[in-house]
Structure 1
């Protein structure tokens, strides 16, 4: 029943009440799992626990999901579904990320689900009895996808037409869920925006965490700290992530694109990514960029010729070599590797911003229709078309026949097709194993 303020949907999970303004219906912070403890695997939420669900208020501190749909959308409407996984270095973020709000999607007849998951050590520390390649934060998202399969029809969505969309850490999660050992058929295609895998596994960094904790890195030990001294655990994590400050401290490691299921993938990056991070900007402002690139390139993943990479960087942007290395190391190398190795069709898109740098996250409002010029935004048109099942209108990436990239200028909406925009990155960074 609907009264232009409250709307109730009945689905397998129970009766879920959200709010509607007559055009868009929002359902906030819907629980989708049972988490027995912060470092325990989540379980599917029994239906009998969810007969009545109040989804009228956003609860950002919960592991939950949100749904945004056209008001009045009914079962069998078969609307495309976007499942969005937020970024945040595997350390922060919420299922209420307003930068990717689902209202424009709803106006275009698309249902949007934002899935929250556990971050930091709760989501990405690994223990001796964990299965290989298993991370609780990613398993949380798997359960969220299962919830979508069981319930999204009641919101007007088509469970057979789901696009998994992630940005930064969320793109990393999306690609991990597409591995053959994780894929369960819950989505048909992926949009991965600036993925960011750590260069080392948790096992390789476990010693540094043990050092800052002063305790064993076990499920029992961390659970006790979380319950009795959460401030101690928080401070220890801050020290741990500082030690690994040139990289993501946590996250799934050992990416191999050949392990992906054969799905269509739209891979995107921004031209400048983390170009403007304070540390890199300070180094470059002092004229120390070239020296620091020579010093840190190997530590940051460059396996080819450092001299050749530095020459290419200086030709592109002589004022900001360290800024370039940070963005290439954190994101653009993974975009390149995924494009080279994925077994299914892959399309590459790169965002620039005219004379200004196109920084990490700059593309989100354009793809989600939240930029001021969204009605004529080429990025938005690309996003909506792909979600509806339409292949992009340029050739898929193919190392044998051509590495085409559509370059979208978010400053003036110009679009040009370019050849091999990630060549410099591909030649410098060898695949991580």
Structure 2
């Protein structure tokens, strides 16, 4: 066999040709929808357009999906399926995220699907005729999940045993798809790593985008710019996103965990999320962290006592209060809120590191098995067991039982459980 042999799978979507090395079978950039225009809702691919699909080459700019399977997987194997939604602040990313490569999953008998979706204004600008809670980027993923439901059996997967996995913006999308008004039974459980919701809605920020564009924010206007002056649209978006400072410029807002469907959810965060953000590093290095926390805490979402939050942040790390505020405001507060409000079973896990910060994205390759060894075995087992349907081996997150959290050290093999690790975040950011 050559290094990469072509293999064709016959599915309801058509005959799809991918590449195998004899162990892993990959299908790159498979189309799952038709997009009539950059700011229009995607649609299912009509049956008459289904034909031969060449999935041997990755096209990162396409709104498409990729599938990675064991080379011998076939119909009726009923392998568990991971559908992964990438992060990237709702601004960038691709369905070819190498940090979450599916090869280790395939070796463990798990199929991986990477979903691409529209980002920036094409995916998350809202117009006057959009339904409440509707975002084109999230609707793209919903169509992708429908494609998986119709086709994954042809690749050896079990459509009744799908775990939706997302990181950062992808975790936000996963939680939005798990809301009762969106949930259609296309997945059985959710793993949401470091979700991040913007603090203000697009409607409240629409005026600043209008100023940056110098044109009305309508579907027709943005479509003309995208087709005729894409560079002008790109520069205008860059100005718009700069105005939003440390917050996400786009994305779904008004998250309410009580609206989630009653399904198992595993929520994770890293303890130090955005310690490596340059602005936070500069502020803290100059000794201005406490001052900036006092000035910005309210604007960044702190509702409780700023003085108490600052005291606890400095107790954890006296030198980095601003770095902690950035990460808590962007990610950990949403983990706390989802854990507090979700109606179904929730388990919480937090990643720490030995003698250094554990930062945003650090856990992705560890969970996906791209770093092997005894020190990462517990982290990999957490992922594989959850995907296979095994209930996590520690207490679920409930106020009445101590709000338990599994602590996983990314630098050592240490695993422990602690109670209420997000207390300072919950008390600072969540309403009474």
For Structure 1 versus Structure 2, the TM-score category normalised by the shorter chain is over 0.9
Partners of 1:71 and 1:403 lie apart in 2 by 42
- The Cα of 1:49 is off from its aligned counterpart by 1.4
Gaps of 5+ in 2: none
- The Cα of 1:48 is off from its aligned counterpart by 2.3
Task: Give the corresponding residue for 1:169.
Answer: 169
Contact kept, 8 Å, 1:337 with 1:431, in 2: the verdict is: no
Contact kept, 8 Å, 1:14 with 1:47, in 2: the verdict is: no
Q: C-alpha deviations, 1:116-137, integer Å up to 9, x for none?
A: 0000000000000000000000
- The Cα of 1:196 is off from its aligned counterpart by 0.1
Task: Give the corresponding residue for 1:132.
Answer: 132
Instruction: Give me the TM-score of the superposition, normalised by structure 2.
Output: 0.98
Contact kept, 8 Å, 1:374 with 1:380, in 2: the verdict is: no
Task: Give the corresponding residue for 1:341.
Answer: 341
2:145 alignment partner, SS class: helix
Partners of 1:177 and 1:374 lie apart in 2 by 35
Aligned residue runs from structure 1 range 131-210, under 5 A: 131-210=131-210
Q: Does 1:26 align with 2:2?
A: no
Indicate how the Cα distance of structure 1 residues 251 and 223 shifts in structure 2: closer, same or farther if over 3 A, else same.
same
Partners of 1:248 and 1:120 lie apart in 2 by 11
Partners of 1:260 and 1:408 lie apart in 2 by 26
Q: Does 1:80 align with 2:80?
A: yes
Q: Does 1:220 align with 2:220?
A: yes
Task: Give the corresponding residue for 1:52.
Answer: 52
- The Cα of 1:47 is off from its aligned counterpart by 2.8
Contact kept, 8 Å, 2:376 with 2:412, in 1: the verdict is: no
Partners of 1:242 and 1:32 lie apart in 2 by 33
Task: Give the corresponding residue for 1:262.
Answer: 262
Contact kept, 8 Å, 1:10 with 1:154, in 2: the verdict is: yes
Task: Give the corresponding residue for 2:314.
Answer: 314
- The Cα of 1:245 is off from its aligned counterpart by 1.6
Q: C-alpha deviations, 1:121-154, integer Å up to 9, x for none?
A: 0000000000000000000000000000000000
Partners of 1:212 and 1:199 lie apart in 2 by 20
Task: Give the corresponding residue for 2:296.
Answer: 296
Task: Give the corresponding residue for 2:369.
Answer: 369
Contact kept, 8 Å, 1:369 with 1:375, in 2: the verdict is: no
Task: Give the corresponding residue for 1:286.
Answer: 286
Contact kept, 8 Å, 2:15 with 2:52, in 1: the verdict is: yes
- The Cα of 1:72 is off from its aligned counterpart by 1.6
1:338 alignment partner, SS class: helix
Q: Does 1:353 align with 2:353?
A: yes
Task: Give the corresponding residue for 1:405.
Answer: 405
Partners of 1:281 and 1:365 lie apart in 2 by 25
Task: Give the corresponding residue for 1:430.
Answer: 430
Range with bigger deviation, 2-11 or 282-291: 2-11
Contact kept, 8 Å, 2:87 with 2:167, in 1: the verdict is: yes
Task: Give the corresponding residue for 1:275.
Answer: 275
Contact kept, 8 Å, 1:171 with 1:196, in 2: the verdict is: yes
- The Cα of 1:377 is off from its aligned counterpart by 1.6
Partners of 2:211 and 2:256 lie apart in 1 by 30
Indicate how the Cα distance of structure 1 residues 26 and 283 shifts in structure 2: closer, same or farther if over 3 A, else same.
same
Partners of 2:383 and 2:113 lie apart in 1 by 15
- The Cα of 1:431 is off from its aligned counterpart by 4.9
Partners of 2:233 and 2:85 lie apart in 1 by 26
1:206 alignment partner, SS class: helix
Gaps of 5+ in 1: none
Partners of 1:245 and 1:33 lie apart in 2 by 34
Partners of 2:211 and 2:93 lie apart in 1 by 27
Partners of 2:379 and 2:200 lie apart in 1 by 33
Task: Give the corresponding residue for 2:7.
Answer: 7
- The Cα of 1:430 is off from its aligned counterpart by 1.7
Moved over 2 A (4+): 372-376
Partners of 1:184 and 1:171 lie apart in 2 by 18
Partners of 1:327 and 1:4 lie apart in 2 by 42
Range with bigger deviation, 368-377 or 155-164: 368-377
Partners of 1:216 and 1:431 lie apart in 2 by 36
Task: Give the corresponding residue for 1:383.
Answer: 383
Q: C-alpha deviations, 1:93-137, integer Å up to 9, x for none?
A: 000000000000000000000000000000000000000000000
Contact kept, 8 Å, 1:85 with 1:166, in 2: the verdict is: yes
Partners of 2:229 and 2:374 lie apart in 1 by 47
- The Cα of 1:36 is off from its aligned counterpart by 0.3
1:407 alignment partner, SS class: strand
- The Cα of 1:413 is off from its aligned counterpart by 1.7
Contact kept, 8 Å, 1:84 with 1:115, in 2: the verdict is: yes
